[in-house]
Amino acid sequence: MIDSIIAKITEQAVSAAPIGDTIKFMIDDQPIVIDGSGDTNQVSQEDVEASCTITTTADTFAQLQSGDLNPMAAVMGGKVKIAGDMGLAMKLQTLLG
């Protein structure tokens, strides 16, 4: 499941405008980093520091991607934890939407 999540994030991030910073997802303890500080968004699995870290499970992430789970409800319900730049986290809806 994590491989399909990485593929989907990569596909969406590469075709989107650069986010201007770095976001790290910790999905089931596996890092996925979107580095949009350059001309394009780059996706890697390096566990590096990021301006915003979003922690969740693969199941929850899949529900968010499919639209079955509202992002705000997921955060409020504790299914998604966000550390760092909240403004950057808000950009995700357009990046991964």
* pLDDT tens string 10-41: 998 988 899 999 999 999 999 999 999 999 99
Domain ranges of the chain: 2-96
pLDDT at 97: 59
Task: State the helix-helix crossing angle for 2-15 and 86-96, rounded to 10 degrees.
Answer: 90
* pLDDT tens string 41-64: 999 999 999 999 999 999 999 999
Q: Quick check: 29 and 47 in contact, CB under 8 A?
A: no
Class of domain 2-96: alpha beta
Q: Quick check: 69 and 63 in contact, CB under 8 A?
A: yes
**Cα–Cα distance measured from residue 63 to residue 75, given in angstroms and rounded to the nearest whole number:** 13
* pLDDT tens string 61-79: 999 988 899 988 999 999 9
Amino acid at position 76, single letter: M
